[in-house]
C-alpha cells in the first residue's frame, strides 16, 4: 500500500482544526497546516510581502514590519481580482512548503495536510484522499459568529465568499459530519482511517 496523504478541508468554522488536532493527538499522525505556511509566506523579508507592500503601500504593515492581515483582508475580501492576485503570491509558496515538509517526513504511512483552500488553490493533486468536514450552514454561522465576534451579516458574507460546502462534499472521499456530537465525529474519523477509499488518487 502506498503512502496515504489525507487532504483535510471543509468550510470556515466547520471543525477542520478539531479533526486535525484529534488526528495528531490520538492517532499521532504528522499534520501539515496550509494556514501556517501561508503566514510564513508573508513574513518580513519574503518576496510575497514585498510584492504586497509594493501593491498596497506601507500602511499594510504593523510598526514591527509584520503584515497587518486584518487590513489586507479588508482590501481583498469581496474583490475577486485582488483576492486572485494575492493568492498568486501565496499559493506557490505554500505548495513549496508542503513539498519540503513531505520530503522531511519521507515514507510516513499516513500524513495529514490541512488545506482550507484545497480545491480553490488546485492542491488536490498533492493528496491521495480528500476528507471534508461539514456541518449545516446554520451551525456553521453560529460557530463563526461566536468564534470571530462577527455579526450575522459578516458571518453570512464570509460563508458565501467560499466555495459551497456541498460542492466540496461532492468531491470528497470521506465526509465528516460535525453537526453536534464530537464523539460521533471522532468515531467517523477512526472508521475512515481504517478504510482506504476506493479509487483513491495515490
* Nearest of 117, 115, 123 to residue 161 by alpha carbon: 117
Is 134 found in the same domain as 172? yes
Is residue 202, in this structure, part of any structural domain at all? Answer: no
Task: Mark whether 166 and 68 lie in a shared domain.
Answer: no
Look at the block and give the residue holding cell 470528497: 172
Residue 138 within a domain: yes
Between 172 and 121, residue with greater pLDDT = 172
Residue 35: which of 90, 74, 73 has the closest Cα?
Answer: 90
Residue 1 pLDDT exceeds 60 = no
**Considering the chain, what is the average pLDDT of its residues?**
93
Residue 6's closest CA among 97, 180, 123? 123
Same-domain status, 24 and 46? no
Look up the CATH number of the domain holding residue 136: 3.40.50.300
The residue segments making up the domain with residue 60 are 42-106
Contact 128, 201 (CB under 8 A): yes
Same domain? 187 vs 115 = yes
Do 190 and 98 share a domain, yes or no?
no
**Bridge partners of 67?**
61
- End position of a domain, from candidates 51, 85, 106: 106
What is the tally of structural domains in the chain? 2
Query: Which of 104-113, 157-166, 192-201 has the lowest average pLDDT?
Result: 192-201
| 125 and 85 fall within a common domain | no
Task: Report the distance separating Cα 153 and Cα 175, nearest Å.
Answer: 28
At 65-97, the pLDDT tens digits run 999 998 998 898 878 899 999 999 999 999 999
Nearest to 36 by CA among 88, 82, 101, 84: 101
Evaluate whether 174 touches 4 at the Cβ level (below 8 Å).
Answer: no
In a domain, 35, yes or no: no
Find residue 6's DSSP bridge partners. Answer: 112, 129
Are 114 and 182 in the same domain?
yes
- How many CB atoms within 10 Å of residue 46? 16
Amino acid at each position: 500500500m502506498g503512502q496515504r496523504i489525507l487532504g483535510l478541508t471543509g468550510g470556515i468554522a466547520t471543525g477542520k482544526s478539531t479533526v486535525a488536532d484529534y488526528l495528531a493527538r490520538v492517532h499521532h499522525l504528522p499534520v501539515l497546516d496550509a494556514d501556517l505556511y501561508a503566514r510564513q509566506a508573508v513574513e518580513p523579508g519574503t518576496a510575497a510581502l514585498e510584492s504586497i507592500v509594493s501593491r498596497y503601500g506601507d500602511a499594510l504593515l504593523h510598526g514591527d514590519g509584520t503584515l497587518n492581515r486584518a487590513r489586507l483582508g479588508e482590501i481583498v475580501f469581496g474583490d475577486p481580482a485582488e483576492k486572485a492576485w494575492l493568492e498568486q503570491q501565496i499559493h506557490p509558496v505554500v505548495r513549496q512548503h508542503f513539498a519540503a515538509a513531505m520530503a522531511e517526513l519521507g515514507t510516513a504511512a499516513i500524513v495529514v495536510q490541512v488545506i482550507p483552500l484545497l480545491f480553490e488553490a488546485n492542491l488536490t493533486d498533492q493528496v491521495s484522499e480528500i476528507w471534508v468536514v461539514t456541518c449545516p450552514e446554520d451551525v456553521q454561522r453560529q460557530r463563526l459568529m461566536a468564534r470571530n465576534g462577527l455579526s450575522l451579516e459578516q458571518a453570512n458574507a464570509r460563508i458565501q465568499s467560499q466555495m459551497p460546502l456541498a460542492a466540496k462534499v461532492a468531491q470528497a472521499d470521506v465526509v465528516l459530519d460535525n453537526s453536534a456530537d464530537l464523539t460521533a465525529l471522532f468515531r467517523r474519523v477512526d472508521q475512515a482511517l481504517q478504510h482506504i477509499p476506493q479509487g483513491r488518487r495515490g
